[in-house]
Every structure is written in C-alpha cells, then in structure tokens.
Structure 1
Amino acid sequence: MSKITILAGDFPSGNGHFSFRNFTLPGDSNHYLCETVNINQLESFNKINKEMVTMLGVSERTERILDDLTQDQVLFMVRLKDKRRFVGLADKRTFDKMNMARRIEGNKNQPMTKAPSAA
C-alpha cells in the first residue's frame, strides 16, 4: 500500500492510500470514514505543477506542503466519472504505479479486434 496526500478538491484534505487498483480517500473531516475508489472510476488522471495547484486557492497548510516539495514528489489531479475531483501528492514510485494501473485497466476495457488473416 502506497501513501498519497489529498491536497484539495471534493474530498477532505488528508492522508490516503493507493493499492493495486484502488484509492482509499478520506471521506469526512474527522477521517473516521473513508471512501474507496477503483481506478476504473477515473475519467482523467494528470500530472500537474505547483502553479496549477496554487490557482485553486488552497489552504495555508497546503501552501506549506507545496513549498517543501522534493524532486521525488509528484502532484496530480484526478477527475472521477461522477465529476468529483481531487488534487493529490505522491512520491514518484507511487505515481508510476497509479499510472501503470490506469493504463492496464484502460487496455482491459478496449474491445479485442480480429487479427488480419494470412490469406
């Protein structure tokens, strides 16, 4: 299980996780509840930069996190098919895992095509 941090969006800010094909996101402000989102529920998943996040008008806590970013950390934005979205932060290895899972799941959903005949 890999750790991610939710910085802004339609989910409360806080710590979340990514494992296999699922995000576990904070579900309420007290973090007693959480929500699991499958990678198939993603409409878009994009790497973003610090300037894009600050345009959202984030909290002071989030601004401090952005000021302390390291080379190994990646900011990303997710939009779900139900139109909710969030901005997250993960290390490069976790971001690569999420990206790979997204590609694999995307390929599973594409219909198989007939191979050309040898004739």
Structure 2
Amino acid sequence: MEKTNKINIRVRYSETDKMGVVYHGNYAQYLEIARVEWLRSLGVSYRWMEENGVMLPVVSLQINYKKSARYDDLLTVETRLVKTPSVKIEFEYTIFDESTNIIAEGSTVLAFINSETFKPMRCPDYILEKL
C-alpha cells in the first residue's frame, strides 16, 4: 500500500543553529507537519480525531541526515504510508531540497489510543475507508 503526500516547508531563521544549518531536532517537527497534512489530504484532521476520542502519540521516530538544509531553503517533505494501519500507523519520509537532493530520510510509528481509557485501539474505520 502506498498513499503518498508532498508538502513544502520554507526553513525559518529560528530553525537554524550557529553554523547556519537546520538544527537536527527541527526535522521531527517537519515530519509532524507532513504527517498532519497527509491525514488532512484524506479529509481528516488531528483536531477532529482528538475531539472524537482518538489520540495518535509517536512511539518511534528515526531520522537519517544526508545533507544540511539552510535558512530560506524550500524543502519538500514526501510522506508515505508504509502499510494498512491496525493499532499502529507507520510512515516513511523523504526530505528534498529544491534541487531534489535528499536532505534526510525518516520514519515514525504512531499508536491509536482511546482518549478516555488511554488504551490502544484499532485504526478508526473512517481512516481505513479513505485508504
């Protein structure tokens, strides 16, 4: 299964370190932004899910850095669903610069959690139906 979405993110000055490159911790935020927009591309928002009793905490995050991104670079983050979600949903990401060089690659695993019981739950049908 491959459901892919792409978004663009412009590197802000505040995201860079003293060397003028994107601080490594900011890549996790880029992946989060891309993941939220991937879900929105299905017609579902995180906010709506949370209001309807579903939370999606990250249980695993991996990032491999290939090249430095710098202030004002326009990055493209490609988000791919790895497989049909069950109790977990898994994504892979590739971050490109404007010349299509790979800046970083990553992956995340999130768990579907019932917000009342704080226990794992299966992926809601309204997501599965859109896949």
Give the TM interval when normalised to the shorter protein: under 0.3
Give the number of the structure whose residues are more often helix, by fraction.
Answer: 1
Structure whose CA Rg is larger: 1
Taking structure 1 as the reference length, the TM-score comes to 0.26
Taking structure 2 as the reference length, the TM-score comes to 0.24
